[in-house]
Structure 1
């Protein structure tokens, strides 16, 4: 994964970005900082203002107040020069339902300033290949599943080989295998130099992919930092073992918390230990006959960090296993 360099230029920057619909403030003075090389996770519960923010960044909705730059140029004033370098999928993929996926991509490519007819077919096939739709026949898009439509929308976003990729809930409708494939693809694109801005309400998706995170709550940006900083060590050592009772008896002088696993057939689980250095802890357990399967510093979970920063709590945020 290509981590953003310290001091890397911003590819998205907003200052007090605000959008009101009548008396409702959907986005409230948001200051985004997305740097070149980021996989930026824009996290928030449904209705928190994520999609409205994305639409403003792309010039689809005018801001009530505030400023924003995309790829170093002010938006929406520079949309004509900025948008050809941005791949985007917002609020689900758009397509002509009576046409095939290939025909839709060819039409989309033809509308762009760099849509050379001579190489169009090659670009379309490459985009379909990258999202796993190369083997799909010429059936119309109305016959596609929701997951296939999501893949087609992502293919459209990749046609221009964008410098910046802006995606709103890109794994919606995908099965676990499809989610993993899209995750792998986005990380591959990032390694190749594309900055990824990923809007989602799914904590697991953001935690597995992103190098930097911003959290919206009620239209306000309540958290923005590097993922490594957010998930810093807690000061405790995490130990996984099938010998919970034996391990606990050996560590009677240390502060130990035990979490048994209901799924482990051997009755195992994990210990959270404070007050012992990891090397000393490991030596004491191994010498006492404890089978240690994993040992290392415990890190904060993104779920806990988000819960502490928001008023809505995490019950409105999706979990990895709760995808539709």
Structure 2
């Protein structure tokens, strides 16, 4: 759906995006993760043909961008950070104007499509209010509704949960997951580790303009070779494990072992009551820190 090769953008002598090879496959929920100023927004803008690359190639839906961007846009929905709107007009009226100017502004289906989009983002009951009365989160929802009007094959979003409260973030996450399950490929940028970890199936990490990691989230969050055990018989378990204990915090143990099922059988067989047991996996935060080194604390904290 999106492929770039050696994509580079310089502002003067400063590289904002530096030789990025990006691969977003059909059906992905792809999260582009990076701190503010890492080049994410510039990269997204180049993919949409809003900013010209200094060098390199971009292909979206099998067509070169920006050369054939007009052929691509009808199948792409996009929301850039800080969606614009006419404040004195209602949300519904803003969407009508946006649809009329868009590549697929079919007037016969406009009212129905606008209603469906507003319903999906949770604005159906406030669609007649002037946008100037909207909160930042409501404006963000309106921008997302605009991106959904054409029922796109590819949805490109820059910081889509900006300004939303925790409940709103959860609702948008569920909406994007549902859209993806219905066949829409989702490509979004964010600096929030927790959102990418909960939503995305594939992750790219950008640091100082370079794509330092790109892989499936399940691969990145590989098992560490340790097992987390909670047991009311902690002392007995430690004796049974005979040197495999890495750490203990009350009734919670960290054990060097790569097979939770086998470890559970061993403990239970020795008479240890096991309250919970699971393999320890790397967090996305650990992946980011390992990949970016100093400065990685610029990322948003988990919510």
TM-score normalised to the size of structure 1? 0.89
In structure 2, the partner of 1:221 is 211
Correspondence for 2:260: 278
Alpha-carbon shift at residue 228 of structure 1 (Å): 1.2
Q: Residues 20, 137 of structure 1: CA spacing in aligned structure 2 closer, same or farther, 3 A cutoff?
A: closer
Cα deviation for residue 24 of structure 1 reads 1.1
Q: 1:293 to 1:25 in 2, by over 3 A?
A: same
Deviation at 1:319, TM superposition (A): 2.1
CA displacement at 1:52 relative to structure 2: 0.3
Rate the CA distance shift 1:285–1:35 in 2: closer, same or farther, 3 A.
same
How far residue 275 of structure 1 moved from its aligned partner, in angstroms, is: 4.1
Matched, 1:255 2:255: no
Q: Distance in 2 between matches of 1:205 and 1:314?
A: 17
Query: What does residue 177 of structure 1 align with?
Result: 167
8 A contact 1:105–1:124 mirrored in 2? yes
Per-residue CA deviations over 1:156-175 (Å, capped at 9, x if unaligned) read 00000000000011011111
C-alpha displacement of 1:22 = 0.8
Which structure is higher in helix share?
2
CA distance in 2, matches of 1:242, 1:55: 54
Alignment of 1:1-324 (within 5 A): 11-241=1-231, 244-258=234-248, 260=249, 268=251, 270-275=252-257, 277-287=259-269, 290-321=272-303
Q: How many residues align?
A: 303
Residue aligning to 1:7: none
CA offset digits 1:51-104 (Å, max 9, x no partner):
000001101111111100011100001111101111101122111111111000
8 A Cα contact 2:259 2:279, kept in partner: no
1:208 partner SS? helix
Superposition deviation, residue 312 in structure 1? 3.9
Secondary structure (helix, strand or coil) at the match of 2:35 reads coil
Q: Deviations over 1:241-277 (max 9, x none)?
A: 455455434434323323x4xxxxxx65x42211474
In the TM superposition, residue 289 of structure 1 has moved relative to its aligned partner by: 5.6
Stretch deviating more after TM superposition (136-145 or 61-70): 136-145
Deviations 1:290-323 (A, max 9, x none): 54332122211111111111134431111232xx
TM-score, normalization by structure 2: 0.94
CA distance in 1, matches of 2:176, 2:259: 38
Give per-residue Cα distances to partners, 1:121-167, cap 9 Å, x unaligned: 10000000000111115221111011101111110000000000000
- Kept in 2: contact 1:26–1:52 (CA 8 A): yes
Sort the Cα spacing of 1:116 and 1:279 in 2 relative to 1 into closer, same or farther, 3 A: closer
Distance 1:62 1:275, change over 3 A: closer
Which 5+ residue runs of structure 1 have no aligned equivalent?
1-10, 261-266
Contact 1:41 1:198 survives alignment (8 Å) = yes
Gaps of at least 5 residues in structure 2 are none
1: CA distance, partners of 2:127 / 2:177: 28
**How far apart, CA to CA, are the structure 2 residues paired with 1:246 and 1:320?**
35
For the residue of structure 2 that corresponds to 1:68, the secondary structure is strand
Tell me if structure 2 keeps the 8 A contact 1:306–1:313. no
Residue 227 of structure 1 deviates from its aligned partner by: 1.0
Q: Kindly tell me: are residues 172 and 246 of structure 1, through their superposed partners in 2, closer, same or farther at Cα, counting changes over 3 Å?
A: farther
